[in-house]
Amino acid sequence: MSDPADHPLAPYGWDAAWAAAFAPHAIAGLEPARVVVELRRHYYAVVTAGGELLAECTGKFHHEAKRDPVAYPAVGDWVAVAPSAGAEGRAQLHALLPRRSRFVRQAAGGEQAQQIIAANIDVAFLVSGLDRNYNPKRIQRFLVAARDSGATPVIVLNKADLHPAPEAVREEIERLVPGVPVVVTSSHTRRGLKLLGGHASPGRTLAFVGSSGVGKSSLINRLARDAELPIGEVREKDAKGRHTTTRRELVLAPSGALIIDTPGMRELQLWDADEAVEEAYADIAELALRCRFTSCRHEDEPGCAVRAAIEDGTLPPERLASYRKLKAEQAAKAPTLRKPGAVASKPGWKQKAAERAAKPFRHRHHRED
Ligand SMILES: Nc1nc2c(ncn2[C@@H]2O[C@H](COP(=O)(O)OP(=O)(O)OP(=O)(O)O)[C@@H](O)[C@H]2O)c(=O)[nH]1
Ligand SMILES: [Mg+2]
Ligand SMILES: [Zn+2]
């Protein structure tokens, strides 16, 4: 077998392990491809050894996926395709290779289902804006989802130029989530870009997630100099973004890293993340093992090791508070989901849909929320 490092898809992260996973599909005459844009439901721009193609799932794929959204490809996935005979630039998507990691959130809209934000990512940058957008609770929710995903989380506090004391915020977040790197950046002054760039080594896949308007696309444009991802305004009165990025897209940076931009998320609801909470708060879980009572709620019970750790200063009280908050959220988890069709009935929706349909496939947009 030829060396995977010489493969035309090596710049996209193709390696010996992917080649091994792909072997049965190669025997079936299929070609490997990586999903670079999710154009709309079940339509993808994929990059193959021969260039970019528009890929559509086969009937058999749909049948086997049984409408489970997680069974469908997402940006970053490796797939097996066959170029369509007689339809230039198009391909049939036959299979999905097992994922190394996946960043999942609960889908917005009708069904109670998971939605894959990005697959096979090595590092998840959780971006917040140091303007009014910044919110420690949201950072923690993102962190739990990132730990759940299998990717390494990095917390990014962007728009440092708009905050009088960004280092104080960094220290506060570091206390809250020990061991997780926290980087202060500004895409305007370029502060912290070298630190971010330090993660962008060749063949690594980085994903940027966070609320609308925090500067995800601005940071990516800085890291991937020739990327021209659209940048949007934020509203003056509440620093809210305008959902400028409307699709998930993977770009190849000059450093050789693969960077995924994602649309701002309105909320990141937790999903089966109880284990991830325990893992993210392993220090508390470990202390709790030493409480006198196994049912200890770490309130006023005698012999509570968690409260003792707070009293002697080894456990920051805000960490216990946020742990409690996340646990309570999960206990009360009856997700409030919008009714199906809520998006489609918004004023102006039809016109926007018509505009979208008139554009060529690579530029067609779909909304995240
Ligand atoms: N002051 C300041 N503004 C920034 C910085 N980074 C981005 N912005 C501005 O914030 C606004 C939103 O930036 P985007 O990059 O579009 O934000 P986004 O996170 O991609 O937003 P969505 O695509 O809507 O999810 C733009 O007006 C940017 O110019 C920064 O470091 N400092
Ligand atoms: Mg954007
Ligand atoms: Zn206790």
Distance (Å, whole) CA 249 – CA 259? 8
Residues of the chain with CATH 1.10.40.50: 281-331
**In the predicted model, what is the mean pLDDT of residues 96-111?**
75
Residue range 103-269, CATH number: 3.40.50.300
**DSSP letter at 190?**
-
Q: Which CATH superfamily is domain 281-331 in?
A: Probable gtpase engc; domain 3 (1.10.40.50)
The DSSP element (H or E) to which 154 belongs, if any, is: strand 152-158
Q: How far is the CA of 310 from the centre of ligand 3 (A)?
A: 11
Residues of the chain with CATH 2.40.50.140: 9-98
Transcribe 82-126 into DSSP letters: EEPTTSTTEEEEEEEPPPS-EEEEEPSSSS--EEEEEES-SEEEE
Distance (Å, whole) CA 317 – CA 192? 29
pLDDT tens-digit profile of 24-75? Answer: 999 999 999 999 998 877 889 999 999 999 999 999 999 998 878 889 999 9
Q: What is the pTM of this model?
A: 0.73
Q: Which residues line ligand 1 (CB under 6 A)?
A: 158-159, 161-162, 186-188, 212-218, 231-234, 241-245, 263-264
Using most ligand atoms within 8 A of CB, pick from 162, 218, 220, 368 the residue to mutate for ligand 1.
218
**Pairing relation of β-strands 258-261 and 249-252?**
antiparallel
CA-to-CA dists, residue 326 to 75, 106, 115, 280, 332, angstroms: 28, 16, 21, 11, 10
Residues of the chain with CATH 3.40.50.300: 103-269
The mean of the pLDDT values for the chain is 80
Q: How far is the CA of 211 from the centre of ligand 2 (A)?
A: 9
Q: How far is the CA of 66 from the centre of ligand 2 (A)?
A: 32
Q: Which of 167-176, 225-234, 270-279, 283-292 has the highest mean pLDDT?
A: 167-176
Q: What's the pLDDT at 226?
A: 65
Taking the CA of 130 as reference, the closest ligand is: 1
**Are 160 and 196 within 8 A, CB to CB?**
no
pLDDT tens-digit profile of 152-194? Answer: 999 999 999 999 999 999 998 898 888 899 999 999 999 999 9
First to last CA, the chain: 44
Q: Return the residue whose CA atom lies nearest to atom 27 of ligand 1.
A: 233
**Are 169 and 130 within 8 A, CB to CB?**
yes
Query: Is residue 97 predicted with pLDDT exceeding 80?
Result: yes
**Are 119 and 99 within 8 A, CB to CB?**
yes
pLDDT tens-digit profile of 108-126? Answer: 444 456 778 899 999 999 9
Residue range 9-98, CATH number: 2.40.50.140
